[in-house]
Amino acid sequence: MLACMDVDYRPEVTVAACVLFRDWADAAEAAHVVERGPPAAPYEPGQFYRRELPHLLKVLAAVREPLEAVVIDGYVWLGEERPGLGAHLYEALERRVPVIGVAKTAFHASVAVPVLRGQSQRPLFVTAVGVEASIAAEHVRRMHGASRIPTLLNRVDRLCRES
């Protein structure tokens, strides 16, 4: 099983969601999990993962199927040997599940692979751990949807915002 994950922050609650799917080209989810929790810790520059990681781990704890890979909205690496949210998630998962980061904006020090999808001239920026970045980028390129953002990444974003 594959998973797309996202987190939405509100003053009164934090919502984490996970959309499960079987194949990179799937148009529809196989299942999803949504967890509502307390407000997130305040943002600390350079420590974003401390804010989001607990919520990702909470929603992943509710997933019963073994995972082949996890896709997050954000970066795995912020630069050479500088871990981002995805690298911290990979460590928290005991290096058993590859993590692929898909970011919508470029980060100046990142070693991301740009991926163009659909008719968009604006790339997505893919980083990964546990799988080669070029292979991860090809998985993201193959994901369902004619637009820049894959269908299931849009789905998990909507689940977070609407729950």
The predicted structure's pLDDT at residue 41: 80
Instruction: Determine the Cα–Cα distance for residues 111 and 33; give it in Å rounded to an integer.
Output: 31
Q: Are 147 and 132 in contact (CB under 8 A)?
A: no
User: For residue 73, which of 17, 145, 111 has the smallest C-alpha distance?
Assistant: 17
Strands 124-129 and 14-21: unpaired
The predicted structure's pLDDT at residue 42: 82
DSSP class of residue 102? E
What are the structural domains of the chain?
2-162 (3.30.2170.10)
> Three-class SS of residue 20?
strand
What are the beta bridge partners of residue 128?
100
Averaged over successive runs of 10 residues, the pLDDT of the chain (163 residues) comes to 97 96 98 95 78 95 97 92 93 98 87 94 97 98 97 97 93
Residue 52 phi/psi, 5-degree rounding, is -95, -35
Q: Provide DSSP, 59-87.
A: HHHT--SPPSEEEEES-SEEETTEE-HHH
User: For residue 140, which of 156, 124, 154, 120 has the smallest C-alpha distance?
Assistant: 124
What's the pTM? Answer: 0.95
User: For residue 38, which of 61, 49, 57, 54 has the smallest C-alpha distance?
Assistant: 54
